[in-house]
Structure 1
């Protein structure tokens, strides 16, 4: 799945869009996404709220795991927060671990603009028979 196709398909991810997460680049088993930090992303400690970081990593994970055109749904996800950020842009890079079959594993690193690791996310998906590259997973109307 190329970047433009990923953007079209994942325009249906309304929560990630509402949070401000954008797909930068996508390919087979790969995605780079970004989140420009805004005041709405900060928690009471004035660092990016964990849910915002998880959402960024989760979208990159979703794009990478669905990049083969087969609907992949998360069955497990875990995140470790390693550093707080308050300004700038965060990036999440998701990569496939091994040759996925019905079960696929993915590794996602969330970094700050300078390359410092902010969080490490791992996720596992189950692949359904539904194809997403044929329009079967079109966004809902409205």
Structure 2
């Protein structure tokens, strides 16, 4: 199985939220999610946790794309624009700094109108063992 298959299958939380990886490349990854009524908060817009989940699966893909098991140790998210039911959101993750132990990445989530919905920055810890996905 490829990394994209492993993460799309084994990250059950992201899978249950409807977040799916569509691309993993060298220092980049993309994930998508359509906002459904199950994603909405009491104010009628997409709940922040759903947005974080989408950004987080893209972050995980970038951080693990070099083959070694890498976990996020700090993430910060800024919510800039509301997402509503029916919005197709795209999370584009970029590895800003590929340190052998402490990678730094940024994820931008946009809606279908190319409006920036949120930005997540993350720092990871890269272990010396290979990522197996099991």
Q: Normalising by structure 2, report the TM-score.
A: 0.94
Where do residues 13-28 of structure 1 align in structure 2 (5 Å cutoff)? Answer: 13-28=11-26
Where do residues 46-125 of structure 1 align in structure 2 (5 Å cutoff)? Answer: 46-86=44-84, 87-125=86-124
Q: Residue in 2 aligned with 1:137?
A: 133
CA distance in structure 1 between the partners assigned to 2:91 and 2:97 by the alignment = 19
CA distance in structure 1 between the partners assigned to 2:44 and 2:63 by the alignment = 32
CA distance in structure 2 between the partners assigned to 1:28 and 1:53 by the alignment = 24
SS in 1 for 2:2: helix
SS in 1 for 2:38: helix
Deviation >2 Å, runs of 4+:
none
Aligned-pair Cα RMSD in Å: 1.1
Q: Residue in 1 aligned with 2:6?
A: 9
Q: Residue in 2 aligned with 1:36?
A: 34
CA distance in structure 2 between the partners assigned to 1:91 and 1:6 by the alignment = 19
Decide whether the 8 Å contact of 2:4 with 2:23 is kept in 1: no
Decide whether the 8 Å contact of 2:68 with 2:127 is kept in 1: yes
Deviation at residue 85 of structure 1 after TM alignment: 1.4
In structure 2, the gaps of 5 or more residues are none
Q: Normalising by structure 1, report the TM-score.
A: 0.89
CA distance in structure 2 between the partners assigned to 1:137 and 1:71 by the alignment = 9
